[in-house]
Every structure is written in structure tokens, then in C-alpha cells.
């Protein structure tokens, strides 16, 4: 059951009144074309007809070795198959493009296809181009590669030993300028290290109470419904592309650099995405498709199968060795963490994840002494990249488990203990940045009230034991970034908004239209958001990291305000009334001396003296930051704004099977101001459900670098039966002074604290503390049995659950 605590009428998902003084912002408007999405009427990239028989289909022959030198690639057998038009190897692309074939946002380390050596099982080595996809895929079996095996790096321990190296040297790309100092570094698998130091943790090692644990979060897969697909072709001397990407502006720059073309000769278009969660960012299929299309001068279509999608990117596996200490009064005095992110064969944005998560690894608490070391390491596995939460759930798993255990050791309630240590408005966080619009206490109080924390469940003495858990999360928004917006106001008072934010189910088209509608006092349904197209829509850094509401939203508000001022200026010219005495309302433009408002349609018509004309305005919104000190991690402004959220859980644990059943999960997020409360609640709920998967089920298992469960037959995901009996999303509003109408993003907030909240409920119910995710029934049952053995060795040997006559539910 889904509760909606912020709504007076949860059952009404249609438009409802906005906040006082606002007309569109704050209304519960339905998202753009919800029925079309549910019924499959929205056209995705993979649905687009290739257009002609000249479109060739691409399938990839992939490596069977985790780390090996390529001696030769034999393609004659594949070329002899009827319907095969060409076979292109990585060596062919390297011969045509040289080292420009290497791409990557952090390091220029990832080839479109492997040409000298392979670095993970499943890496593309050769591409078969054929008249149809089935022929192309079948022909990949006729490509034969001779390898010379090299020692592989299978995990973070292997990466740190220095016996083998995934790359010969580090080659920072031009995208992240702060990595330039790493250029040419050799003989290491550590591609980035972030350090944070505040106070002196050594001086409080003898504090009265301390807890220390080693935590593990495994790699997981994003599993979006829509599979990645890219179509690329050459038109004249331009490379054009239709693709599933969250980052069209980045892809355009990458392809232009690779092919040595001006940006004006590369066009990247998107369609609405069928989910992504970070899986369709940066370098996925696009460099490969562009390179093949350019070299062959052919229109090519590359689509990943479900199994291949597992190989394109994963969430980072992370190991966190951490500790927290409190003095005799129970006050937090120190926190330390040593974090290692496994980024796989290619860095992707691993260095950014390592830094952005490392700086919040001590949690949203007032702690005078903090020491954090966060490292990103290469291994011979599929590359890891962004995933909802950007690495922060991995460290939240650590600090929220530790503080829960510390509260229990000091004899305090875990909710109350957190609350008295949480950062407040104006406090300085561990990395030196002042907190603003991050209502941690409001979020914590909201979820505690929702699950009736003050009246804990009866623990029970039979087969089923019950407990409650709580956790808080903090994350910084990606900073600095750039957003632009172009607004065309049509003569009939409808509008077209041109932005490069990609709609992928989060509802960005809906809320951007609401922002325009709020400023121009028009119906938001009359605002059309143009899909991202680098020939048409202006530059935007990325659609990710929950940045769009704040960054693009500010650009949209600015451009709408420009349009409003232009309309008022035109009305002033036509009416003779000073612009300062005019105002824009739902009825039109009114002012002193004009009892009848001037209709916007008439003002534009009089200006151009033609129907169907448009007024156009453009705006930019760019954020800045103070780069953190390389030795201490300190920064006066490390981020533009914060995400604050909390989760509380009531759970039942089956002590016979180890199964955890969620009876109630409440999730809250400080969104500044909810532009559309309905969409905010959906984002909080969706993120929480993803977090439930990570807490209880999601885990990519590898053996010698190869996926054991890299298909949906084997990869376990939560089903409807695993959902909480009650799920309560709660909106907390602490307006941001520079947010659009006070708003911030929310897409990641709900996932941050889910796993530790569930683990803390498990600890409360049966007294076991697990430090490895997911909390599978097997792990839970083993922990319960170990605890029984420690507490009563003789009884645990003599009595089994089946022999027990304790109560059953």
C-alpha cells in the first residue's frame, strides 16, 4: 500500500491547487503522456524504423578472457556467411583513428573496441555488420581470436598488491581538468585517491566507546526496461546519431574529438528513455557506432541484448573499513573510513564517485575529528559507472550501521542519538562547507513519526521476530555544471521549451513546463518540451545526479522571466503605459488605465503583424565551486546544494528461513520546494524500491572475472511480493535560497539510507549485525544460527527450527 503523507487527498493524482501565491508550481499535475508510456505508445530509440535496407545491423564478438594480449583476429569465416557485409576489428578502428579511438570522461582509457589487449570478459573485439541482426549475431561465433593470457586483477585486494596492472599508465581526459596531475603515472591500479582530514582522529583513539567494522557492497546492475540502442550514419561530412543517452552534449563532444570533427558536424538526438538510473551515460555504444559508421560510411544500428547490457556498466562494488568513537557523554568525537571503489577495467566516472562519496563518508553529523581515505581502483571486470546515488549509498551503508551500533553501546535510542548529532542549518560539515537547505532533523522526525517509532513493535518470541530501524543520508549535487534554455513563445500564447535535459521517466518535461507556466501564467499543458537534439537544443552538462530540477530549472525560470519582461515591454510600447506598471496574469497583461487586460496573443500579433510568429529568448545558469584541497579535502563551497533524506522501517524476520519481510517503510526527502508533489512522491518511492533491491537481492556474482548471474534468469530482483506492506513517501520542504521557487532535485534522495535502515531493523529484531550486502535469507539465517551457537552452544546443537514448537504466523 502506498501512502502519500504530503497530500491532503492521496487518491487524487490529477491536477490539484498549487501552493498559495503560485498557479502551476506546487500543483499535482499528471506527467506528460502517462497513458502513452504505460501502453507503449511512446516511441523509444529502439522502436524507430531503421528507414531503409541500407541500414546495417551490428553484432559484437566479445572477449572470453579477463586479461590477455590479442595476437590475431581471424574474420574470413564470418565474412563468407551470406548476409555479412563486413567485419571490423578493434585494430581496424585503431588504424583509422589512432589513439582518438580511446575515450572516457575521467581517463582516456577505453577503446571503442579492444585492439591490443582485452581487459574484461565480454569486451568487444570485432564487429560483424550484416543485413539483419540475427545474421550478424550468428556470424560473431565465426570470429576467432588468438590470445596470450596475462595475469588478471580480480578484486580490490588484487588491485592493491601491484602484481599486475590493468593499464600501463594513467591518461587523464580533457573532461575532468582536476585530474591532470595524474598524467603519466605508471605501475598502479589506483587511478584516484581522495583524502579528507579534519581535526585529529589519533588524539581520540582512547575515547570511551568505539565501533569498527568492514562493510561490503557488491556490484549491481541497473536493469532499465529499455535496452541501449544507437543508430549512426554519415550525412555529407557530418556524423549523425540517434541514441539512448542521458548525456547528448557529452556524446557530441566525444564523437567530435574521436573523428576530429567540429562540433557543428556532429548531431546527437535522443528520444524519451525507458529508464536508465545511470546506465546510459557517457561512453556506452555511441563511440563504437560512430567509429564504425564513419569508417565504413554506412548507416549502422547497434542494440544491446539483455545479457550484453550487463556488460556495458555496473554499480561500483565498494569495501569500506570504518570506525566511529564517542566520549563518556556519548558525544561523537571521531569518524574514520578507508573506502575502495572497484571501477572495473575502465575508470568511467569512478574518480568523481570516489571523491563525491568520500567527502560524506562520515555522515550528516557534527563530528570534530574526521579522517577519510577513498580510492578508486582498476580491476579486470566490466567497467562500473554512475548508478542512482553516485556511490553514496555504499558509504551510507557504513556510517548508518556504525552510528546505530554506537547508539546501542552508549545505551541511547538510535533515533534520538542521531537527532542530537545531526548537522543543522549553518553548521559546517566535515569537508568545510556550510549546510543550507538540508533539513536532516525534519526528515528524520517525519519517518520516525510515520512508523510510530515511539511505540516499537512487540519483538516476539516465536518464529517471527519484529524490529524497527532508521537511517539518514546526505549527498552533494554535482558541481560545477552548466545548463541552458531557449524559450519560443508562439503567437497563440503556447510555448516551446528547448533544453537538453533528457526525459527518462523522472518527469522533467512536466516540471519544466510547470516552471514556464508559473512565470508566464499560462496552462502548463500548452508548453511543449523539445526532445534533446544537439542541432537544436542548447548545451547541458548531463541529465543525472538529480541536478536537473535545480540547474536546468533555474535556466528555465530565467528564460521565462526574460520572456515575461519582453512581453511587458511590448505591451508598454503598444499601450503607452510604463512597463513597471504592468503585470502578467492568467487573463493577460493589465495595468493602470487598462481595465481590460491585453491578451498575450494580441500583443505578439501587433508586434509582428502576422499570425504564427514566435518570440525567442535564451538563458544560461552555471554553478561554481571551490575545489577541495588535495591533502585535506576541505572546501568552502564543495557543492551548490545538498540532498537530505531519511528512511524508517518496521520489519519481520523469519528466524527459520532468514527471510526479511518489510511491514512498513517510510522515506522522506528535503526537496526545497516540491514543483510537483505527485512526481516527488513517485521519485521517493521509486528510489526506495531500488534501495530495497540492493538491500535484499541485487548482487552481481563474478568468478575469475566472468559473470555467474549475468542474465535475468539468474539475477535476482525484487518482485511485487517483496514490496513493503506499506510504503510512505514524505515530502520535507526547506526552500533553497537560489533554487527555482526554492526547489532542489530528489531522484537519488530516497535510495541513500534504505539498506542500513533495513539492516538496523534486522539488528533490532534478532540481534545480529550484518556488514555485507545483500541481506539474503541465507546470510541472515547463518548469522542467526551463529548467534544461537554463541549464546547457547548445547541447545543449538540439540534443537532445529523444525523441531521447535514456537509460534508460527
Say which DSSP state 540 is in.
B
Do the domain assignments include residue 387?
A: yes
Q: What is the model's pLDDT at position 9?
A: 34
Identify whether the C-beta of residue 303 lies closer than 8 Å to the C-beta of residue 47.
no
Task: Reply yes or no on whether the pLDDT at 65 is more than 90.
Answer: yes
What's the CA dihedral at 734, 738, 740, 745 to 10 degrees?
A: -60
Contact 761, 456 (CB under 8 A): no
Strands (E) located in 112-168: 117-118, 124-130, 144-149
Which are the contacts of 784, defined by CB distance < 8 A and separation ≥ 6?
655, 658, 766, 768
Cell numbers placing 348: 568511467
**pLDDT class of 179 with cuts at 50, 70, 90:** very high
For every residue of 653-719, DSSP letters joined together read EETTT--EEEEEEEEEEE-SS-SSHHHHHHHHHHHHHHHHHHHHT----EETTEESS-STTTS----
* pLDDT of amino acid 37: 80
Distance (Å, rounded) from C-alpha 689 to C-alpha 669? 15
- Report the SS3 class of residue 389: coil
pLDDT for residue 4: 62
Please compute the mean of the pLDDT values over residues 137-143 and round it to a whole number. Answer: 98
Q: How far apart are CA 148 and CA 454, in angstroms?
A: 64
Please check the confidence at residue 593 and state whether its pLDDT lies above 60: yes
What does the pLDDT read at residue 22? 60
Domain closes at, from 622, 642, 658: 622
Range of the domain at 577: 484-622
3-class secondary-structure state, position 16: coil
Confidence of residue 807 (pLDDT cuts 50, 70, 90): very low
Residue 684 has which C-alpha cell? Answer: 521517493
Q: In sequence order, what are the residues at sequence separation of 6 or more whose Cβ sits closer than 8 angstroms to the Cβ of residue 602? A: none
* pLDDT at residue 649 tops 90: yes
Task: Output the CA torsion sign for 184, 187, 191, 193.
Answer: negative
433 and 461 together in one domain: yes
- Write down the pLDDT at residue 801: 46
- Is residue 275 situated within a structural domain? yes
Cα–Cα distances (Å) from 587 to 18, 510, 655, 791, in that order, read 18, 23, 65, 75
Query: What is the pLDDT of the chain when averaged over all its residues?
Result: 93
Q: Residue 319: enclosing H or E segment and its boundaries?
A: strand 317-326
* CATH code where residue 135 lies: 3.90.1170.50
650 neighbors 451 (Cβ within 8 angstroms): yes
Residue 486 has pLDDT above 80, yes or no: yes
Out of 296, 312, 328, a domain closes at 312
Query: Is 488 in the same domain as 570?
Result: yes
Per-residue pLDDT band for 52 (boundaries 50, 70, 90) equals low
Considering the domain boundaries, does residue 16 fall inside one?
no
pLDDT computed for residue 794 by the predictor: 59
Q: Looking at the structure, do residues 364 and 441 belong to the same domain, yes or no?
A: yes
CATH number of the domain to which 587 belongs: 3.30.365.10
Q: For 256-265, 504-513, 582-591, 796-805, which range has the lowest pLDDT when averaged over its residues? A: 796-805
**What kind and span of H or E run contains 295?**
helix 286-296
Upper half-sphere CA count for residue 453 (Cβ side, 13 Å): 21
Percent of the chain with pLDDT over 70: 95
My answer on whether 652 and 768 are in the same domain is yes
| Domain-located, residue 784 | yes
Q: Would you state the pLDDT for residue 638?
A: 96
In terms of domains, do 463 and 509 share one? no
Residues 489 and 464 in one domain: no
Residue 24 counted as domain residue: no
Take residue 807 and report the three cell numbers written for it.
509460534
Q: What is the mean pLDDT of residues 121-142?
A: 97
Alpha helices in 528-547 (DSSP H): none
How large is the average pLDDT for residues 90-106?
Answer: 97
Q: Is the pLDDT of residue 805 over 80?
A: no
The SS3 assignment for 13 reads coil
The tally of domains found in the chain comes to 3
Lowest-pLDDT range of 370-379, 524-533, 791-800: 791-800
| CA-based end-to-end distance of the chain | 21
Same-domain check for residues 331 and 464: yes
Same domain, 510 and 389: no
Length of the chain: 809
Question: Contact at 8 Å (CB) between 295 and 98?
Answer: no
Q: Is the pLDDT of residue 235 over 90?
A: yes
Rounded Cα–Cα distance for residues 421 and 78 (Å):
65
| 390-418 tens-digit pLDDT | 999 999 999 999 999 999 999 999 999 99
Provide mean pLDDT across the span 281-307: 97
Confidence of residue 795 (pLDDT cuts 50, 70, 90): low
Q: How confident is the model at residue 13 (pLDDT cuts 50, 70, 90)?
A: very low
| Residue 10 clears pLDDT 80, i.e. is over it | no
- pLDDT at res. 800: 46
**pLDDT band (50, 70, 90) for residue 595:** confident
User: Residue 104: which region, alpha, beta or left (left: phi > 0; alpha: psi -120 to 50)?
Assistant: left
- Asked, for residue 585, whether it belongs to a domain, the answer is yes
Q: Per the structure block, which three cell numbers stand in for 697? A: 537481492
Confidence (pLDDT) at 204: 83
Q: Does 11 score more than 70 pLDDT?
A: no
Q: Is the pLDDT of residue 125 over 50?
A: yes
Strands (DSSP E) contained in 120-260 are 124-130, 144-149, 190-198, 209-217, 229-235, 238-243
Q: From the DSSP assignment, how many helices (H) and strands (E) are in the chain?
A: 19, 30
Q: Percent of the chain at pLDDT above 90?
A: 89
Same domain for 308 and 318, yes or no, is: no
Residues whose CB is less than 8 angstroms from the CB of residue 650 and which lie 6 or more positions away in sequence, other chains included: 451, 457, 466, 467, 468, 662, 663, 664, 665, 761
Q: pLDDT tens for residues 675-700? A: 999 999 999 999 999 999 999 999 99
pLDDT range class, residue 8, cuts 50, 70, 90 = very low
Residue 217, strand partner residues: 318
Residue 546 near residue 387 (C-beta atoms within 8 A): no
* Ramachandran assignment for 171, one of left (phi > 0), alpha (psi -120 to 50 degrees), beta (any other): beta
- Taking the C-alpha atoms of residue 599 and residue 574, their distance in angstroms, rounded to an integer, is 12
Tell me: do 539 and 553 sit in the same domain: yes
Is residue 25 one of the residues assigned to a domain? Answer: no
Q: Which of 312, 338, 369 is the last residue of a domain?
A: 312
Q: Are strands 238-243 and 317-326 parallel, antiparallel or unpaired?
A: unpaired
Q: Does 270 lie in the same domain as 345?
A: no
Residue 306 sits in the same domain as residue 324: no
**HSE (CB half, 13 Å, CA atoms) of 440?**
28
Identify the H or E element spanning 559. helix 548-575
Does residue 806 register a pLDDT over 50? Answer: no
Please check whether residue 278 is in contact with residue 353, taking contact to mean a CB–CB distance below 8 angstroms. no
* Rounded CA separation 506/278 (Å): 12
598 neighbors 589 (Cβ within 8 angstroms): yes
Encode burial over 157-169: b for 16+ CB neighbours within 10 A, e otherwise: ebbeeeeebbbee
Residue 176 within any structural domain of the chain: no
789 Cβ contact partners less than 8 Å away, ≥ 6 residues apart: 796
The pLDDT, as a whole number, for residue 21 is 62
Amino acid at each position: 500500500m502506498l501512502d502519500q503523507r504530503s497530500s491532503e487527498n492521496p487518491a487524487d493524482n490529477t491536477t490539484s491547487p498549487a501552493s498559495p501565491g503560485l498557479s502551476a508550481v506546487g500543483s499535482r499535475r499528471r506527467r506528460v503522456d502517462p497513458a502513452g508510456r504505460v501502453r507503449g505508445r511512446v516511441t523509444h530509440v529502439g522502436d524507430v524504423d531503421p528507414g531503409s535496407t541500407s541500414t546495417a545491423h551490428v553484432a559484437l564478438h566479445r572477449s572470453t578472457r579477463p586479461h590477455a594480449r590479442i595476437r590475431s583476429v581471424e574474420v574470413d569465416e564470418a565474412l563468407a556467411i551470406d548476409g555479412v557485409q563486413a567485419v571490423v576489428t578493434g585494430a581496424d578502428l585503431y588504424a583509422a583513428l589512432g589513439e582518438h579511438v580511446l575515450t572516457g570522461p575521467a581517463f582516456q582509457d577505453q577503446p571503442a573496441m579492444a585492439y591490443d589487449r582485452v581487459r574484461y570478459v565480454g569486451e568487444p573485439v570485432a564487429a560483424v555488420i550484416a543485413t539483419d541482426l540475427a545474421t550478424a549475431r550468428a556470424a560473431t561465433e565465426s570470429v576467432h581470436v588468438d590470445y596470450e593470457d596475462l595475469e588478471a586483477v580480480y578484486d580490490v585486494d588484487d588491485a592493491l598488491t601491484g602484481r599486475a596492472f590493468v593499464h600501463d599508465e594513467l591518461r587523464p581526459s580533457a573532461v575532468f581538468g582536476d585530474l591532470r596531475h595524474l598524467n603519466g603515472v605508471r605501475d598502479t591500479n589506483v587511478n584516484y585517491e581522495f583524502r579528507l582530514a579534519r581535526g585529529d582522529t589519533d588524539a581520540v583513539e582512547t575515547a570511551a566507546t568505539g565501533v569498527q567494522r568492514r562493510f561490503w557492497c557488491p556490484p549491481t546492475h541497473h536493469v532499465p526496461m529499455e535496452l541501449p540502442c544507437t543508430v549512426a550514419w554519415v550525412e555529407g561530412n557530418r556524423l549523425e546519431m540517434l541514441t539512448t543517452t542521458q548525456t547528448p552534449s557529452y556524446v557530441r563532444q566525444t564523437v567530435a574529438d574521436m573523428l576530429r570533427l567540429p562540433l557543428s558536424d556532429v548531431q546527437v538526438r535522443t528520444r524519451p528513455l525507458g529508464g536508465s538510473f545511470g546506465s546510459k551515460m557517457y561512453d556506452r555504444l555511441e563511440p563504437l557506432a560512430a567509429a564504425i559508421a564513419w569508417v565504413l560510411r554506412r548507416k549502422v544500428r547497434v542494440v544491446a541484448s539483455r545479457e550484453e547490457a550487463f556488460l556495458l556498466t555496473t554499480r561500483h562494488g565498494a569495501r569500506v573499513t570504518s570506525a566511529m568513537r564517542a566520549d563518556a557523554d556519548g558525544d561523537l568525537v571521531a569518524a574514520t573510513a578507508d573506502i575502495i571503489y572497484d571501477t572495473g577495467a575502465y575508470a568511467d566516472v569512478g574518480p568523481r564517485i570516489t571523491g563525491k562519496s568520500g567527502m560524506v563518508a562520515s555522515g550528516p553529523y557534527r563530528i570534530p575529528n574526521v579522517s577519510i581515505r577513498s580510492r578508486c581502483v582498476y580491476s579486470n571486470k566490466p567497467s562500473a559507472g554512475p548508478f542512482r546515488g553516485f556511490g553514496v549509498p555504499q558509504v551510507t551503508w557504513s556510517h548508518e550501521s556504525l552510528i546505530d551500533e554506537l547508539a546501542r553501546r552508549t545505551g541511547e535510542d538510535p533515533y534520538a542519538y542521531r537527532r542530537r548529532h545531526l548537522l543543522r542549518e549553518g553548521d559546517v560539515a566535515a569537508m568545510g562547507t556550510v549546510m543550507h537547505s538540508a533539513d536532516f532533523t525534519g526528515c528524520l522526525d517525519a519517518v520516525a513519526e510515520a512508523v510510530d517509532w515511539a511505540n516499537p513493535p512487540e519483538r516476539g518470541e516465536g518464529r517471527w521476530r519484529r524490529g524497527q530501524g532508521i537511517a539518514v543520508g546526505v549527498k552533494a549535487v554535482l558541481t560545477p555544471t552548466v545548463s541552458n534554455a531557449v524559450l519560443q513563445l508562439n503567437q497563440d500564447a503556447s510555448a516551446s521549451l528547448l533544453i537538453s535535459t533528457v526525459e527518462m521517466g523522472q518527469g522533467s518535461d512536466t516540471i519544466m513546463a510547470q516552471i514556464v507556466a508559473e512565470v508566464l501564467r499560462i496552462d502548463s499543458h500548452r508548453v511543449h518540451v523539445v526532445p534533446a537534439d544537439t542541432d537544436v537544443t542548447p548545451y547541458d552538462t548531463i541529465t543525472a545526479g538529480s541536478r536537473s530540477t535545480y540547474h536546468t530549472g533555474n535556466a528555465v525560470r530565467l528564460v521565462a522571466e526574460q520572456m515575461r519582461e519582453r512581453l511587458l515591454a511590448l505591451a508598454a510600447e503598444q499601450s503607452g503605459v510604463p512597463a513597471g506598471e504592468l503585470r502578467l496574469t492568467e487573463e493577460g497583461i493589465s495595468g493602470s488605465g487598462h481595465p481590460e487586460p491585453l491578451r498575450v496573443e494580441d500583443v505578439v500579433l501587433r508586434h509582428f503583424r502576422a499570425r504564427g510568429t514566435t518570440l525567442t529568448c535564451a538563458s544560461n545558469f552555471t554553478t561554481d565551486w571551490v575545489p577541495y584541497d588535495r591533502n585535506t579535502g576541505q572546501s568552502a563551497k564543495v557543492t551548490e546544494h545538498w540532498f537530505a533524506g531519511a528512511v524508517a522501517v518496521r520489519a519481520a524476520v523469519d528466524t527459520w528461513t532468514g527471510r526479511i519481510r518489510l511491514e512498513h517503510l517510510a522515506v522522506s526527502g528535503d526537496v526545497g520546494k516540491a514543483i510537483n508533489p505527485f512526481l516527488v512522491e513517485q521519485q521517493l518511492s521509486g528510489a526506495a524500491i531500488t534501495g530495497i533491491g540492493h538491500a535484499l537481492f541485487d548482487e552481481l556474482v563474478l568468478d575469475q572475472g566472468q559473470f555467474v548471474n549475468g542474465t535475468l534468469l539468474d539475477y535476482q530482483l525484487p518482485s511485487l511480493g517483496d514490496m513493503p506492506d506499506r510504503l510512505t513517501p514524505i515530502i520535507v520542504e526547506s526552500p533553497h535560497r537560489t533554487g527555482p521557487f526554492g526547489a532542489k532535485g530528489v531522484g537519488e534522495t530516497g535510495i541513500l539510507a534504505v539498506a542500513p535502515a533495513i539492516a538496523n531493523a534486522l539488528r533490532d529484531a534478532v540481534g545480529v549485525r550484518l556488514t555485507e550486502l545483500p541481506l539474503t535469507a541465507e546470510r541472515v539465517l547463518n548469522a542467526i544460527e551463529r548467534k544461537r551457537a554463541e549464546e547457547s552452544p548445547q541447545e543449538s546443537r540439540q534443537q532445529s527450527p523444525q523441531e521447535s514448537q514456537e509460534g508460527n504466523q
